[in-house]
Amino acid sequence: MKILRYWDSASNRPRYGVLEGETVHEIDGLPYGELRLTKATRSLKGLRLLAPCEPTKILCGGLNYLGHAKETGQPIPKLPPVWPKALSALIGPDEPIQYPPETERLEFEAELAVVVGRTMRNVAPEDVPAHLLGYTCANDVTARDMQLESPINLAISKSFDTFCPAGPWIETELDPNALDIVLTVDGKVRQRTNTSDMIFPVAKMVSYFSHLMTLLPGDLILTGTPEGIGRMEIGETCALTIQGIGTLSNLIVASPRRAAA
C-alpha cells in the first residue's frame, strides 16, 4: 500500500491519502494505527505532493554501505553512526533544492528512508518491522566542503533548508533488504547499488537508534548512502528511484540569498 501526503486546496490544509493506481483515497486523520478512509477521492494527476510524513525528528545513519566505506577510505564502523538533520530541511517531491551561498560543493546522497509507525523504545531487531509505517526515498543533500572543513559540523552541512527531499510516498509492504537504488542527475546515472550492500540492515540500525532515544510515529530515518556521491549544479534535476517505491525528483535552484550575493 502506498500512503502519500498532499495539499488539499479546497480545505487549504495538508491531508494523507492511499494511492491505488492513479486514484487517491483520502485518509481520515493520520495514517498510524488502523486506517480510516473517507469517501473522498481525487486524481493523482495534478495533485501537489508534500513530504510524506511529519517527523518530530530526522535521523541520518551514516557510512552504511561497504562500497561507500571503500570509496571514502574509512574503516567499517562497529555501530551505526548517527546525526540529526533539521526538520526545516524537509521538502517533498518536485520541490526545488536550494543551493545556498555558504557552500561551493553541493552533493547528493541517495538513501532508503524509514518512516516510524509506532512509538519505539529499546525495540529488538526482529520486532522493528512491526513498528514501521513503511519506506520512502530520501536525498541526504550535503554541503560537502563545509563537512570536510570541519567534521564536527556534520549536522550543519546537512541541515540547510531544502536539504532533505523525501517521497514521493510511503510504501508499507516492502522487504528493505534487497532493493535496487539508482540516482540520476539530468538523466545520467550517478549512483547505483542494492540495499544488500548495507553494513547494518534496516532492522538492526533502527533497533540501535531506538535504544538511544524514543522514536515516535512519523519520525524519518535515513539509512545511509552507497558509493558514487557527487556534485549537483544549479539547473540540474536529481532523480532517485528505489525499487518497489517510486521516483523522487527535485530541481536544483539558486537560493534567493545566493542570487542576491
DSSP 215: B
CATH number, domain with residue 25 = 2.30.30
22/80 same-domain check: no
Q: What are phi and psi of 233, to 5 degrees?
A: -120, 155
102 located within any domain: yes
Identify the pLDDT of residue 147: 87
82 located within any domain: yes
Identify the pLDDT of residue 260: 56
Q: How confident is the model at residue 17 (pLDDT cuts 50, 70, 90)?
A: very high
Answer yes or no: is pLDDT of 175 > 60: yes
Identify the pLDDT of residue 258: 64
CATH number, domain with residue 210 = 3.90.850.10
75 located within any domain: yes
Q: How far is CA 211 from CA 14, 128, 148, 165, in A?
A: 32, 12, 29, 27
Instruction: Compute the distance between CA of residue 185 and CA of residue 111 in angstroms, rounded to an integer.
Output: 15
pTM (2 d.p.): 0.95
What is the rounded average pLDDT of the residues 117-131? 98
Q: What domain range includes position 66?
A: 58-260
35/73 same-domain check: no
Q: How confident is the model at residue 90 (pLDDT cuts 50, 70, 90)?
A: very high
50 located within any domain: no
129 located within any domain: yes
Q: How confident is the model at residue 194 (pLDDT cuts 50, 70, 90)?
A: very high
For the chain, percent of residues with pLDDT exceeding 70: 98
Answer yes or no: is pLDDT of 130 > 90: yes
Answer yes or no: is pLDDT of 257 > 60: yes
15/81 same-domain check: no
Q: Are 37 and 25 in contact (CB under 8 A)?
A: yes
The more confidently predicted of residues 63 and 40 is 40
